[in-house]
Amino acid sequence: MEQSAFRLKVEKDKSITDIGYDYGYSPSNYSSVFKKQNNISPSEFRKSKYAECVPNPFYQNKLAKFQSFEEYNQRVIVQELDDFVVVYERYIGNYIELGRKWRDFIEKYKNCFKEDTFLIERSYADPSIANTDQCLYDICMTVDKNCPFGNVTTIQGGKFAVYHFDGFVHDIFTAFQGLFNVWLANSGYKMNERYGLDVYRSINWENMHVVMDLCIPIK
């Protein structure tokens, strides 16, 4: 449901019926299941996504205001990313807890950390759609292929739209929503079946300022 909602948001030219079919639903079943999970019909949801801002689910009474397509487009680079071999842990919860989760994760796997290590998040839920306390995500660290841990996997690379973000953690939601609602919806690209990635370049834990690449899989 969450992946189909992503596509309703960004694939304006594809019918709701066709998107439902892609996930194995008949038109009536898709509408019923979607409304049961999201408390809104697919058609109402799609209409609501053409606004210039959305409520920020993490900060009460705060709106996530979008930039123009041109402003996003100046900071997006389309590039091929290699596969990432990572040790990972999966969580279900509120993204607001990420800072604490990351510190615990890095401490646990500190012996794997090298100069060329990447810290990566892989998100499966859109907090503008899903219950904020039920968001599914992976916290990952790149490791050698012969890493002895059992929780090692490969994140598939490929073509991504990469947006360089340099700012505070509380502004990441706005940046990602703008990329999906404005840039991707008007770029001519389609979202691939792979999941989005956040690749950290630096983190200042004291003031929660981050430099990172927000990566949207495209085709």
pLDDT in tens, 106-136: 999 999 999 999 999 998 877 877 788 888 9
**Which of 21-30, 141-150, 190-199 holds the top average pLDDT?**
141-150
pTM to 2 decimal places: 0.81
Higher-confidence position of 64 and 2: 64
Amino acid occupying residue 178: G
Share of the chain above pLDDT 90, in %: 47
- 49: pLDDT confidence band, cut at 50, 70 and 90? low
Q: Which residue has the higher pLDDT, 41 or 69?
A: 69
Confidence of residue 161 (pLDDT cuts 50, 70, 90): very high
- In order of their start, the domains of the chain are 2-50 (1.10.10), 76-217 (3.20.80.10)
- Residue 26 has what pLDDT? 87
**Which tops the pLDDT comparison, 61 or 181?**
181
Note the pLDDT of residue 181.
84
Task: pLDDT band for 195, please (50, 70, 90 cuts).
Answer: confident
Judge whether residue 50 has pLDDT over 60.
no
Res. 165: pLDDT tops 90 = yes
- The amino acid that residue 71 corresponds to is E
**Is a pLDDT exceeding 90 seen at residue 185?**
no
Q: Would you say 48 and 8 are in contact if contact means Cβ atoms under 8 Å apart?
A: no
Residues 6+ apart with CB under 8 A from 129: 2, 5, 38, 45
Mean pLDDT rounded to a whole number for the chain: 88
For 94-107, give one letter per residue: b (16+ CB within 10 A) or e. ebbebeebbeebbe
Q: What is the mean pLDDT of residues 167-173?
A: 91
SS3 label, residue 170: helix
The tally of CA atoms less than 13 A away on the side-chain side of residue 99 is 13
